[in-house]
Structure 1
Amino acid sequence: MKRWGIGLAVASGVAGLALQSVAMAVPASTQAAPQTRSTQAEQTRSTQAERARSTQAEQARSTQAARVRSTQAALRWTTTAVNRTPAALSDVDSKAGVTWAVGADHVVDFQDQRPLAMRWDGKKWTAVAQPVRTNAQLISVAIGNAKNVWAVGEDRVDERTSRPLVMHWNGTKWQVVKPPAVSTGTFDDVVVSKDGAVWTTGWANVGGAERAVVYRYAGGKWQLLGDGLEGAINGNVLTVLSANDAWVGLNAGLAHFDGKRWTLVADVPTDGSQIPTGFATIGPKNIWMVGVDHVARELPLAVHYDGKKWTKVAVPAGWAQLYGVTLRNGRPVAVGERFEESGQTILARPLVLEYNGTKFVQAPAPAPKQGTLTAAAAAPDRTWAVGLTPSSVTTDYAAFAAYTR
């Protein structure tokens, strides 16, 4: 993801398998009959087969129980000390044995910011020195490996003008990578594909018009993959399965890339009533997407792709927005914020939804009573959520990160 705060942001279950062992009653006449070698051999084979079936049944029960325990384990969050105030984290990624979170330090609220990249060493978060000291922020991060990490965002020339910001971590330091030659723009998401190419999406001024863009960076060169996106407003989020199979969630719609051009799909409306903000991809025929469903009030949006069509998945009712989704033990976990009115004040509270096999249900959220979860990422041993929460000392925001096993 990453364009969180689209609206009012203040910022599978497994059915148990019942296996029964049935004892067969043997007629008395059969019991009294003399046993021949053939009969004894047959009974021996029968007994061995029964034992094998019994063992297989026991193994099946054990395996099924383990799966149930794995998929139904409750979310139990541990808050980690980030120690960045005022600040906010916009994205997190965790793979190849490393975890990075990015965002911005706030000089003057969200109007004047500095890029922030933090690395988790297994015990604590550490802010790593940044080469950019202008009014800029990092919005998305993607890990290729420990020495190949990419982050994108925006660098504001002035309060009303932004240019794409691209940075790369080489294992030692962060360096600025020259972005595509556009006069204005912002990059909202970045992906490192399996072939090592870097993909990014957002918006930019192309040919004198501001529009959604997708760029691919390989061999030190940027390639605009823009055919089919000419009328789109902004690229929010990407998932890339291959050079010929990618999806981009737009501020108005969803488009698929076949290696040559983007094609809007009819399953997601292009009127802005549904805005994608996050993908979790299992394979080309199993993709989860979350976002915001704009009706009378913003509602959480969850959609699943089965290789043929995108279908909305039931979510809890309520005033809320989702900004990111990841896979915990193969099951989608989505994060965002829910809203509550308190007099004249609208409060944002962290929101976590979990897929139970048929629908998304509300799950335990990390500790802060107020704040926003902007992104989530799963590592082999834990699932991360990051965002921002009001500082306990001032009205500024503090960067926030938590994990669950």
Structure 2
Amino acid sequence: MTQLKARARTSAVAALAAVTIVTGSAFAAAQPLEPLNWTPTPTRSGPSVINDIDAKPAGTWAVGSDLVDDFMVQRPFILHWVGGQWKKTPQPMHTNSALQRIAVAGANDVWAVGEDRADPEQPKPLVMHWNGTAWKVVPAPAVPTGSFDEVKIGPDGTPWVTGWARIGTEEPAVVYRYVAGKWQALNTGLEGAINGNTLTVISRNDAWIGMNPGLAHFDGKSWKLVDALPEDGSKIPTALAAAGPKDIWLVGVGHKGGPEGETPLAMHYDGVSWKSVPTPSGSAQLYDVALWKGRPVAGGESFTSSGNIITSHPYVLDYRGGRFVKAKSPVTGSGTVATVSAANGRLWVGGLIAATPTSQYAAFAAFTR
């Protein structure tokens, strides 16, 4: 597998930190759509971001960070949707750290992952668990340095995580499964790959991982790279969502260098092969995808430029008529949709937004029925 020097699954914070944010024009839909009637929900005041929302019948949870010192320092927070509002739940990390993803296995069984940045030069994987009463740190795999970017719950209730870690002298993509209080390494076949960005778990013997150098399938013993995506990092998957072993959706970014060179990537697996799905033209990248009312909905950010100013816009794509089309934005201003999730008849999105060029970045979450 081709070695890449940088991870490509950029969080909303990092993506917005790299550009100058101003407000911009709205996008024209590729075809007429009934509007998604978004309902904003207050989350956090002050500079902050929602990195992930997981909505399940057992509960809806969100993770994010308060932003300090121009994004150089982050303080994680965890929110629980209770009684029609977001409730902040105490969590044990109060130093520089970030929670990237959260996964709901049950009302008393919720997992969150990210990285501990106490030493920014050598971050460590961070894992937390909610037992119905409190959040506690779960000892991560014993690696010198690393980070977890994704957590998914298998059909049997087992958490799976992916990201990267130092193993020997290399820093490959890694996958671990938490069984009976211990981490099982499932890394055979990932040697040389850079960063596990996303997972979907069909069964213990059927899983997919999206990485910087493409896409790989797990058969219960090892990962095998498939030729659906190139290994050169030109098309990078950032999110997977599965309705079953023969109905899997992938989104990401066509990576050509610089925000203006990014194009949205979407693919579908029918149990036999992966096929590209048309997306709107223009500069954009996708961060997440969820299945809602039998179809995928994706979120990310689009880019426009004026002179040397690049503007990031919240970006939602809805699947209609065999293609993704532009949908109504959940918020007005400049920012990013970092997460999409659906359960109990609601479609959730979250990320961060700046209402005006001089506004602070602020976390947002919204839903539509």
TM-score of the alignment, normalized to the shorter chain, above 0.5 = yes
Query: Any unmatched runs of 5+ in structure 1?
Result: 12-71
1:153 alignment partner in structure 2: 114
Q: Which deviations, in whole Å up to 9, do the C-alpha atoms of 1:144-198 show, x marking residues without a partner? A: 0111000000001322220000000111111000000001000000011111111
- Look up the SS of the partner of 1:209 in the other structure: coil
Alpha-carbon deviation of 1:358? 1.1
Q: Distance in 1 between matches of 2:355 and 2:90?
A: 23
Instruction: Tell me how far 1:395 sits from its aligned partner.
Output: 4.6
Q: CA deviation at 1:130?
A: 1.4
Q: Which residue of 1 aligns with 2:213?
A: 252
Q: 1:295 aligns to what?
A: 256
Deviations 1:198-243 (A, max 9, x none): 1000000012311100000010000110000001010000000000
* Ranges in structure 2 where 5+ consecutive residues have no aligned partner: 1-7, 18-32
In the other structure, the counterpart of 1:396 is 360
Q: How far apart, CA to CA, are the structure 1 residues paired with 2:302 and 2:122?
A: 31
Check conservation: 2:12, 2:351, Cα contact below 8 A: no
* CA distance 1:201–1:330, change in 2 (3 Å): same
* CA deviation map 1:12-38 (0-9, x unaligned): xxxxxxxxxxxxxxxxxxxxxxxxxxx
2:39 matched to 1:10? no
Q: Which residue of 2 aligns with 1:375?
A: 339
1:199 counterpart = 2:160: yes
Query: Could you list the per-position Cα deviations for residues 51-72 of structure 1 after superposition, in whole angstroms to 9, with x for gaps in the alignment?
Result: xxxxxxxxxxxxxxxxxxxxx7
- Give CA deviations for 1:325-355 in whole Å, capped at 9, x if unaligned: 0111011100000011133211111101111
The structure-2 alpha-carbon separation of the partners of 1:4 and 1:403, relative to structure 1 and needing over 3 Å to count, comes to farther
Aligned partner letter, 2:16: V
Q: Find out whether 1:175 has 2:136 as its counterpart.
A: yes
For residues 173-252 of structure 1, the aligned pairs below 5 Å read 173-252=134-213
Q: How does 1:130-169 map to 2 (within 5 A)?
A: 130-169=91-130
What does residue range 6-405 of structure 1 map to in structure 2 within 5 Å? 9-11=15-17, 74-295=35-256, 297-390=261-354, 395-405=359-369
Partner of 1:10: helix, strand, or coil?
A: helix
Does the aligned pair in 1 maintain the 2:340–2:349 contact within 8 Å?
yes
How big is each residue's C-alpha offset from its partner over 1:76-109, in whole Å with a ceiling of 9 and x where there is no partner?
1111111332111111101124111101111223
* In 1: Cα distance, 2:117 partner to 2:104 partner: 25
Q: Compare CA radii of gyration and give the structure with the larger one.
A: 1
Do the aligned partners of 2:127 and 2:138 also contact (CA within 8 Å) in 1?
yes
TM-aligned CA deviation for residue 295 of structure 1: 3.4
Change (3 A) 1:108 1:234: same
**Normalised TM-score (structure 2):** 0.90
> What one-letter code is carried by the residue in structure 2 that aligns with 1:287?
I
Larger fraction in helix: 1
TM-score, scaled relative to structure 1: 0.82
Preserved contact between residue 265 and residue 285 of structure 2 (Cα < 8 Å): yes
What amino acid is the match of 1:317?
Answer: S
User: Aligned AA for 2:343?
Assistant: A
Which whole-Å CA distance do the structure 2 matches of 1:254 and 1:6 have between them?
A: 22
CA distance in 2, matches of 1:384, 1:208: 41
CA distance in 1, matches of 2:12, 2:97: 19
Amino acid at match of 1:330: G
